[in-house]
A and B are shown apart, each in its own frame.
Chain A
Amino acid sequence: MKVIAAMSGGVDSAVAAARAVEAGHEVIGVHLALSSNPQKYRSGARGCCTIEDSHDARRAADVIGIPFYIWDMADEFHEGVVENFMSEYAAGRTPNPCLRCNEKIKFAAVLDRAKAMGFDGVVTGHYARTQESAAGKTLHRAIDPLKDQSYVLAVLTREQINGAIFPLGDTEKVDIRKEAEARGLAVAQKPDSHDICFVPSGDNAGWLRERLGSEVGPIVDQDGKKIGEHKGAYTYTIGQRKGLGLTVPASDGSPRFVLKIEPVSNTVVVGPREDLAVTTMRGEKPIFCGPEIGAAPLRGFVQVRAHGAALDCTYYLDDNQLVAELDQPLLGLATGQAMVIYDGDRVVGSATICETA
């Protein structure tokens, strides 16, 4: 196949591109420039939008021996990912921007452009696997549970998965580094990137405060009684216990947790731990990575964080919303997070959590 390898300048995407070449594909390396004002160097292990990274990606492509270009996706990234991140927080939800980037940029803008230019698909360094089955190509967890990225890929449609190649899913990260070393790729020991690439400081709350302002508002208990003040509701997360600065103790002396964030009234609601418990979640705009499901209940797992646990559940479709009923209650779940359903290690699909009970 003729494919585009998305090369971030890191070790994973470099090895993925090299493996795609070895698999016999005709590969062209592309680095996505996601920031219109790239920094010179990465600070620590964060970010994927620096001049150093684009140089590292180019060097890897040269060593592998493939053509290399830079595609400017800064506007698409800002509109589709950064602005969405801000507006979701402003609306009191907790979004996952990496998921959004896969959905809107890497497997939409890039894949569409690649296909229009006569390419068959996109290769990335994500840790996930695909399998051919009677029902078509399906998405599965990587064999390295610590690196598995199937959660952030669960927003891909079947068509997008058909155009995606993940050469790393069958290997553990430690072996990818060794392989990079053996291939003479200088990025072999480059640190992994973590956190949100467009928040280079890693201080999400500070970054949001700078852009959304920090309007003081009330912290209330479940009866609506004001018991404290906060500096911007969006800097709190559901289930948070520390940093609330409450002076009035709870009547029974037990610790209090953030239960709810109400952006319109700029209010943070706190209460006891047991009130965080969620047994049912509903997600809107479901996306199925493989065969679609219906109203008939099925058994499987639901995951609500990138590296969270897979929770036993019963799932089904109701009124075009994905519903998961948990066997064991989960503490602290925010709307806006993605719920990803697994059947064993196969990704069934995902939806954005809009309601919990």
Chain B
Amino acid sequence: MSDVAIAAMNASLRKLGNPSSLHTDGRATRKDVEDAREVIAHSIDCLPSEVIFTGSGTEADNAAIKGLFWYSKKKVILVSSIEHHAVLDPAHWLVEHEGAELIEIPVTATGIVDLVFLAEVVAKRAGEIALISVMHSNNETGVIQPIADIVKIAGDIPVHCDAVQSFTKVPLSFKNLGLFAMTISAHKVGGPLGIGALILRRAVELPPLLHGGGQERDIRSGTVNAPAIVAFAAAVAAHEYDAEKVQALREKFESGVLALRSDAVINGASAPRLPGISNITFPGTQSDSLLLLMDAEKVSCSTGAACSAGVHRPSHVLMAMGLSDVVAQSSLRFSFGATSTEADVDFALSVLPAVIERGLAAHSVGRR
């Protein structure tokens, strides 16, 4: 969490008023929340009334997928095969419990949704499609999706976009993209955990997931989490993310990796990508071994996916791009952010060769 967000949250935590109360204290907190809403709206080019605060990005995704399904009264849901589980799982839930039909839009080998496939499905079944949901950029590979093209193909069909990963990293305009709904989250942008937002087009009244006081446009009930909202906006307003600097760090890291391991593969390298994500396959290794060894060197990286018991699973994103389960399980994600430095990159590169050697040895005994 950024210093400005911590300061804003601390100041807000002292305020007594519930923003839904009518007395002076309540109105004071309400003003802070509405100021924050305007900051967020401005940052994403939407109307303040289109910002609905939620308890997480996952909640916003659920509200959008289930809400648009019920709102449209149609049966077919289209999502890309590389969506986050916060989108995939509610879609599968609707199939199991609400009679939905799910069509997954495949991606190319570079990780971009197949627009030809999408256009064909839309041409054949436009009248049956409840919604289309495609993420703005993928959380594992950083590959940026052609959302404007998707909205064009969709025509009148509502399109939702999970923009959690892209928000503040690349320019985003809710209005210009022509979306029905979009998801953002605070903790990815230097804000606190446990606060997100559903950006929902004006006058689209979705059936709510949570019923109660109707605090957020009658679509999301629950006491408004003013300190978290204020901190979210403070982090967004400060905008400490320097995309050019982060991209330079990633490029330095990737060229360093390729110089050390000529067999390493940067996944999605030829596609437009977020500045700070690098997904790399190290052939002949198992990424959970690499993670352990990197962690022991105080370098945090990620293996992509784990089941609820914590077992490392091949990434559905990499497999959708055509990688085999074995290759998918030898891939690691490295992230670079606002606080990353050249020294961090140099250090990660300095420990990498020994880690890969040990990872190769560990994998070869495992296959004996």
Contacts and interface: CB of A to CB of B under 8 A. Distances in A.
Interface of A: 28, 31, 33, 38, 50-51, 54, 58, 67, 69-72, 74, 76, 109, 112-113, 115-118
A116 B361 contact: yes
A33 B292 contact: no
A72 B306 CA distance: 10
Interface string B293-315: 10110000000001111111000
17 contacts: A28-B292, A28-B296, A51-B308, A51-B309, A54-B309, A67-B292, A69-B288, A70-B288, A70-B309, A71-B288, A109-B366, A113-B362, A116-B358, A116-B364, A116-B365, A117-B289, A117-B361
A72 B286 CA distance: 11
A115 B365 CA distance: 9
B291 interface: yes
Contacts of B293: 117-118
B28 to A, nearest CB: 40
A115 B366 CA distance: 11
Given A33-B310, A51-B308, A70-B311, A113 B365 contact: yes
- SS class, residues of chain B in contact with chain A: helix
Interface in B323-368: 358-359, 361-362, 364-366, 368
A56 to B, nearest CB: 11
Given A69-B291, A117-B361, A112 B368 contact: yes
Residue from the set B308, B361, B365 with the largest chain A CB neighbour count within 10 Å: B365
A4 to B, nearest CB: 9
Contacts of B366: 76, 109, 112-113
A240 B30 CA distance: 77
A117 B288 contact: no
Contacts of B310: 31, 33, 54, 58, 70
A72 B307 CA distance: 11
B358 A117 contact: yes
Interface of B: 288-289, 291-293, 295-296, 306-312, 358-359, 361-362, 364-366, 368
A116 B357 CA distance: 9
Nearest to A32: B311
Residue from the set A38, A113, A116 with the largest chain B CB neighbour count within 10 Å: A116
A50 B311 CA distance: 11
Given A69-B292, A76-B366, A116-B365, 18 more contacts: A28-B296, A33-B309, A33-B310, A38-B307, A51-B309, A54-B310, A58-B310, A69-B288, A69-B291, A70-B306, A70-B309, A112-B365, A115-B365, A117-B289, A117-B293, A117-B358, A118-B293, A118-B358
B253 to A, nearest CB: 23
Contacts of B296: 28, 67
Contacts of B289: 113, 117
Contacts of A58: 310
Residue from the set B293, B296, B310, B368 with the largest chain A CB neighbour count within 10 Å: B310
Contacts of B306: 70
Contacts of B295: 67
Nearest to A72: B311
A116 B362 contact: yes
Nearest to B313: A72
Nearest to A2: B296
Contacts of B359: 117
A69 B286 CA distance: 13
Contact of B288 (A50, A72, A118): A72
A51 B364 CA distance: 28
Contact of A33 (B291, B311, B362, B368): B311
Contacts of A70: 288, 306, 309-312
A115 B368 CA distance: 14
Contacts of B311: 33, 38, 54, 70, 72, 74
Contacts of B308: 51
Nearest to A71: B288
Nearest to A68: B310
Residue from the set B292, B307, B309, B366 with the largest chain A CB neighbour count within 10 Å: B309
Contacts of A117: 289, 292-293, 358-359, 361-362
A319 to B, nearest CB: 29
Contacts of A67: 292, 295-296
Contacts of A112: 365-366, 368
Contacts of A116: 358, 361-362, 364-365
A27 to B, nearest CB: 12
Contacts of B292: 28, 67, 69, 117
Contacts of A54: 309-311
A111 to B, nearest CB: 9
Contacts of A71: 288
Contacts of A69: 288, 291-292
B330 to A, nearest CB: 14
Contacts of A33: 309-311
Nearest to B354: A118
B85 to A, nearest CB: 16
Contacts of B368: 112
A54 B311 CA distance: 9
B308 to A, nearest CB: 5
A305 B361 CA distance: 37
A145 B310 CA distance: 35
A174 to B, nearest CB: 30
A72 B288 CA distance: 9
A121 to B, nearest CB: 15
Nearest to A115: B365
Contacts of B362: 113, 116-117
Nearest to B306: A70
Residue from the set A50, A74, A112 with the largest chain B CB neighbour count within 10 Å: A112
A247 B308 CA distance: 52
Closest 10 A/B residue pairs (Cβ): A116-B361, A112-B365, A116-B362, A70-B310, A33-B311, A51-B309, A38-B309, A54-B309, A117-B362, A72-B311
Nearest to B312: A72
Contacts of B288: 69-72
